């Protein structure tokens, strides 16, 4: 029960940080930080895959609701939730995942978390920015946005991940 409350709190905090803080900051046209996907990334390994898809869709819909982006983040959240299973399989430790361990740096190390996070972040950002531009005409501009925003998102996600871990 306490774990469920913890993840509900993560959902609310990450949603509020995304919509009330990060979406209001305009550093450059090339940089957008998306921290809300950390919620999908941190869900327990034993979470039902259909529930992960539903939660990814719900988180994206909530971001869309606050940002008036008409389904852009809902589709990206759903895509990240779908790809999460494959990323977990791709980066699975030799002895596999333990069901009672959380998916975090403390349990699997920085290298594992970095590869896992950057995979999901790049897929999310490629989807968001190519769907946003809906064209390959400005492909270099879009790829620059993907690259810079991915680095920014990774830095913010690592910061929040470490902050959330230190609260335990």
105-119 tens-digit pLDDT: 888 889 999 999 999
The CA-atom distances, in angstroms, between 165 and each of 2, 21, 117 are 15, 21, 16
pLDDT at site 157: 94
pLDDT band at 167; cut points 50, 70, 90 = low
Tell me the C-alpha distance between 12 and 39, whole Å.
Answer: 10
Please write the tens of the pLDDT for every residue from 10-61.
999 999 999 999 888 877 777 999 999 999 999 999 899 999 999 999 999 9
């Amino acid at each position: 029960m306490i774990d469920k409350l913890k993840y509900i709190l993560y959902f609310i905090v990450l949603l509020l940080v995304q919509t009330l803080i990060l979406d209001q900051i305009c550093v450059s046209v090339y940089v957008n930080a998306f921290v809300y996907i950390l919620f999908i990334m941190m869900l327990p390994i034993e979470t039902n895959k259909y529930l992960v898809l539903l939660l990814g869709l719900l988180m994206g819909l909530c971001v869309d609701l606050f940002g008036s982006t008409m389904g852009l983040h809902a589709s990206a959240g759903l895509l990240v939730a779908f790809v999460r299973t494959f990323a977990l399989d791709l980066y699975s430790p030799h002895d596999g995942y333990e069901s009672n361990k959380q998916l975090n740096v403390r349990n699997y190390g920085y290298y594992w978390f970095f590869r896992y996070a950057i995979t999901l972040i790049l897929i999310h950002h490629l989807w968001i920015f190519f769907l946003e531009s809906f064209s390959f005409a400005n492909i270099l501009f879009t790829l620059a946005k993907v690259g810079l925003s991915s680095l920014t998102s990774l830095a913010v996600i690592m910061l929040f991940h470490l902050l959330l871990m230190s609260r335990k």
